[in-house]
Structure formats: C-alpha cells, structure tokens
C-alpha cells in the first residue's frame, strides 16, 4: 500500500449513511475508521419493533449501484407500484405512483440493508470497524473525537483529517456542534407518534403467502390518523399506526395514544376504523401492548461543519419524518455528495463547504415535502377530489411530457435535486390552476364578443360587468389571504 498521500476519515455511526460513506471513501484511497455506539449486528440481531420499513427508490438505487451493492440489496426488495387505499367500507383501490407502470418504490428491511452495507465496509482493507463506543466529545480544531468504551472506564480518542457525524437524528456529534458559536438549530416533533404492528403470512388466498396485494403500499387513511403496511419477503406485512399523541376535544372519536392504552381499547378502534385489517392481525393485542410508540422529529441545523474538519451527514444533519419514504435515499445522496466534494476539492475545508452548498437546500426541501406528504396520505388520499386531481395531473403529464412531470415522480423516480423537484411541483400546481382559469376567461371573452357581434350589446355589457365584479372579488380575496407585510 504505497500511497503518495493517504488521507484519513473518522466516521461516527455505522448506520446506513456511515457504512456507505466508509465504502466510498475507502475506495477513493482514504483510511477510514468507522465507530459505532451499538454492538456489532453481525454477531447479534438488531432489536426489532421500533423501525419503519424502508422504501428505497431511484436515489437510493443510484447510490447502492455506485458501491456495487444494488444487486445484493434489490434481490430481496419488494416493488410497490402505488398506494392501495383501504376505505372503512368497500373494496381497496390502487392509486398508481406514476403513468409509467414499471415505476415503483422498493420495500426493504432496514436491518438487512444495514448488514449489507456493513459487510461491504468490513470487506474494504482500508476500513477499521469498531463497535460499542459512545461518542462523548469532539474537538473540531484538532479534528478528533472521544469515545467511551462500553462496559469499561476507558476513553479512546481518534484524530483524522475529516470527522463525519453519521450518528442519526439524536446525534451526539451535532449536540457538540450546538455548543459552538452561532449554530442555528431546530427540532420539531410531530404531534403524532407511530407504533409498529404485524400482519403474518397466510397459507391460502389470492395473494398467498401474502394476506393482501404484495405490490403496493397499503394505506388506511382516516383523516387525522392512519395506518400503513409494507410487504416483507417472507409474506408478512409490517404495519405502522400513525396516531396523534394527545386527544383532541374537537374530535373525541379520534384514536390517540393518550386515551387508547389497552389492547381492548385498541381492538375497539380497529373494529370501527380498520375492520378489514383487523381480520388479518391475530397478534393485534400483543403487538399493541408490547411495542412502544415512537416519536418523529424534523431536525434542521446550520452550519453543518465546524473548523473545516468536522461535518454531519444523513439524519444527524437533517432528520425528516418518514412519509415520503426518502430518509435513507436522502442520506445516501449525502454520501455521494460528500465523497464527490472530497474528490473534487484540494482541501477538506473547501470540500465540506461545497458539500453543504450542494445539499442544504435539498435537505430542507425533502423535510418540507415529507411533512406535506403526511397530510396527503392520512387525509387527502381518502377523498374523491384527490383522486380526480391526481388523475388530472397524470393526464397533463401524458400530454406535456417532462414539462409536467409530477413531484412524486421527480422525487421517487429521478435523481433531480429535491429542491428542484419541489419547485417544479409548485409550478405544476400553478399551471393546473391556470389550465382551469384560462379556458374560462377565454370562453367568457368569446361569449361577450359573440353577443356584441350579434347585436346583443346590453346583455354583453351585463356579462362583462359580472365578470368584472368577480375579478374584483378575486383580487380582494387574494389580497386579504396573502400574508400582509408588517408595518411599524
């Protein structure tokens, strides 16, 4: 190993992002130390019951392909082509994700994906893997981090040219950065919690061994709350309840984790709200009582780096809620962007700046879109108007092609930057409105013109005046609704 110049990286956290970054950097010639708080999952299984299934889409596949891992991970993935909406009464119906019937997102097991990435990292001769070491402090000036070794009194300190925090939404590395000067920071918890439930494989039925259609993401939208289910390779489904933490005086019927506490209370809610799922859930009572409800947080911070030596990736830099299925995909894009920036810049400090510029706006965009998608999934998707709107959007996409590519397609089936996907989604929304308004205005003008030409001038004037009044009301409404600038 005769390197002209070997640079060293210290990565804190061997989850999805940390492991993938280790692979990228080791292959680019870096000496990598990858340190994880938990035990080695290759020796004992991960604890189950607190992780939503992952959805991997175009961005994630791109990043895995680059590491040569696409085939291994995708072998056990299940493709979902749309949302299967389960109403309280009546048959479930599929909303496809895209006009292109081959486009789907992939349900994968988080633990299997993490194992694949850890194996790949461990196979790199330049990677040193260490477990059961909790990060206690960082020194951004020295480029070092200290770790308490589990079960001992000893503390180990490692130095590197770049120190990367990949230690998740409750990052210890980020907590250290928060104590530095002028570090902007926001953590916002969702008013809803989540609880994992289970639908086992079945021996008979149309989709056996699956109890429901295996090629869809199942949703039970119920207004303020919902349940979803993702298929697993063994025929089972992992279900997740998303309920408010607290009761709402305005809708006392609504289930929530504060008042629905026992298995019997949960069963009563399922009989009323999720009757078709109830029949498929023999372990409902045990699941509900055993699995602890988890919280979901959106984290934003700035800057992502300190002293040109320390930076953050993945959830540590920008935790998002899970409703767009993009958390892991966004983290993988971070790994690509950071590896690219380190390759393209002569100093680490320049690379960290370039990486943050490349990713910050995009991580903000996906955080916003994930929050908006929760409302769409639990509330809008149950409404006929939503279905009509989606169909209209897909029609415009068919007519105008890429110019009108829907936001969902851009986010899930392309690698267009998130911020651009968001902006194009908003532009689509505006054009959809105008595509309604403009024909009305044109028709109205033609009508007035036609009436005048035919000698019905007074009637034409009447119609003109009505339109004028309507336009005035619209201007007023738009003015009033717009947030007025503050005067002092």
Q: Give 235 or 467: the residue with its C-beta nearer to a second copy.
A: 467
Sign of the torsion angle spanned by Cα atoms 301, 53, 293, 255: positive
Pairing of strands 155-159, 144-149: antiparallel
Q: Min. distance of Cβ 425 from a second copy in angstroms?
A: 6
Q: Give 156 or 379: the residue with its C-beta nearer to a second copy.
A: 379
Q: Give 23 or 52: the residue with its C-beta nearer to a second copy.
A: 52
Hey, what are 368's tokens? Answer: 């916003």
Q: Are 100 and 79 in contact (CB under 8 A)?
A: no
Q: Min. distance of Cβ 133 from a second copy in angstroms?
A: 21
Hey, what are 411's tokens? Answer: 């986010």
Q: Give 350 or 368: the residue with its C-beta nearer to a second copy.
A: 368
Q: Min. distance of Cβ 70 from a second copy in angstroms?
A: 26
Whether the ω angle into residue 226 lies within 30 degrees of 0, i.e. cis, is no
Q: Min. distance of Cβ 97 from a second copy in angstroms?
A: 10
Q: Give 282 or 392: the residue with its C-beta nearer to a second copy.
A: 392
Q: Are 162 and 144 in contact (CB under 8 A)?
A: no
Q: Min. distance of Cβ 297 from a second copy in angstroms?
A: 8
Residues lying near a second copy in the complex (CB under 8 A) are found at 181-189, 245, 295, 368-369, 372-373, 376, 389, 393, 406-408, 422, 425-426, 428-430, 432-434, 441, 464, 467-468, 471-472, 474-475, 478-488
Q: Min. distance of Cβ 368 from a second copy in angstroms?
A: 8
Q: Give 18 or 327: the residue with its C-beta nearer to a second copy.
A: 327
Task: Break the chain down into helix, strand, coil percent, rounded to 5.
Answer: 45, 20, 35
DSSP H or E run through 433: helix 418-453
Specify which residues 84 forms β-bridges with. 94, 218
Q: Are 211 and 177 in contact (CB under 8 A)?
A: no
Pairing of strands 127-130, 31-35: parallel
Q: Are 265 and 272 in contact (CB under 8 A)?
A: no
Q: Give 123 or 468: the residue with its C-beta nearer to a second copy.
A: 468
Q: Which of 368, 356, 355 minimizes the C-alpha distance to 419?
A: 368
| Angle (nearest 5°) at CA 168 between 291 and 142 | 150
Q: Min. distance of Cβ 190 from a second copy in angstroms?
A: 9
Q: Give 127 or 138: the residue with its C-beta nearer to a second copy.
A: 138
Q: Min. distance of Cβ 61 from a second copy in angstroms?
A: 21
């Amino acid at each position: 190993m005769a390197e002209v110049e070997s640079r060293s990286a210290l990565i804190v956290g061997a989850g999805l992002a940390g492991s993938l970054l280790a692979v990228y950097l080791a292959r680019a010639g870096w000496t990598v130390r990858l340190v994880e708080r938990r035990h080695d999952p290759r020796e004992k299984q991960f604890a189950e019951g607190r992780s939503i299934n992952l959805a991997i889409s175009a961005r994630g596949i791109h990043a895995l392909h680059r590491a040569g891992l696409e085939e291994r991970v995708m072998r056990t993935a299940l493709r979902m082509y749309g949302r299967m909406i389960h109403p309280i009464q009546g048959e479930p119906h599929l909303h496809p994700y895209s006009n292109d019937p081959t486009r789907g997102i992939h349900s994968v097991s988080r633990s299997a994906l993490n194992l694949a990435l850890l194996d790949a990292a461990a196979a790199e001769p330049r990677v040193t893997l260490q477990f059961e070491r909790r990060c206690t402090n960082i020194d951004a000036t020295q480029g070092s981090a200290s770790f308490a070794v589990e079960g001992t009194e000893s503390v180990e300190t490692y130095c590197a040219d770049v120190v990367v925090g990949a230690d998740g939404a409750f990052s210890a590395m980020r907590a250290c950065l928060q104590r530095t000067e002028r570090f902007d920071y926001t953590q916002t918890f969702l008013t809803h919690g989540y609880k994992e439930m289970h639908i086992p494989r079945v021996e008979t039925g149309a989709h056996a061994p699956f109890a429901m259609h295996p090629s869809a993401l199942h949703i039970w939208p119920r207004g303020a709350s919902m349940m979803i289910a993702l298929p697993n390779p063994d025929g089972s489904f992992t279900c997740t309840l998303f309920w408010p933490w607290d009761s709402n005086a305005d809708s006392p019927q609504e289930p929530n984790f504060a008042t629905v506490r026992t298995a019997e209370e949960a069963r009563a809610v399922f009989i009323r709200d999720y009757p078709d799922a109830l029949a498929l859930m023999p372990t409902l009572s045990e699941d509900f009582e055993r699995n602890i409800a988890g919280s979901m947080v959106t984290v934003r911070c700035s800057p992502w780096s300190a002293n040109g030596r320390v930076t953050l990736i993945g959830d540590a830099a920008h935790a998002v809620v899970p409703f767009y299925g993009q958390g892991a995909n966004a983290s993988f894009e971070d790994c690509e962007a950071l590896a690219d920036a380190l390759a393209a810049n002569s100093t680490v400090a320049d690379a960290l700046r370039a990486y943050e510029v490349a990713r910050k706006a995009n991580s903000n965009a996906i955080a916003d879109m994930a929050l908006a998608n929760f409302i769409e999934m639990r509330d809008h998707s149950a409404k006929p108007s939503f279905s009509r709107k989606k169909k209209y959007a897909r029609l415009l996409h068919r007519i105008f092609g890429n110019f009108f590519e829907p936001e969902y397609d851009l986010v899930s089936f392309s690698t267009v930057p998130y911020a651009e996907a968001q902006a194009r989604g908003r532009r689509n929304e505006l054009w959809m409105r105008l595509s309604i308004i403009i024909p009305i205005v044109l028709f109205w003008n033609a009508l007035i013109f036609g009436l005048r030409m035919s000698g019905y001038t007074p009637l034409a004037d009447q119609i003109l005046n009505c339109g004028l009044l309507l336009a005035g009301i619209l201007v007023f409404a738009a003015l009033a609704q717009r947030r007025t600038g503050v005067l002092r």
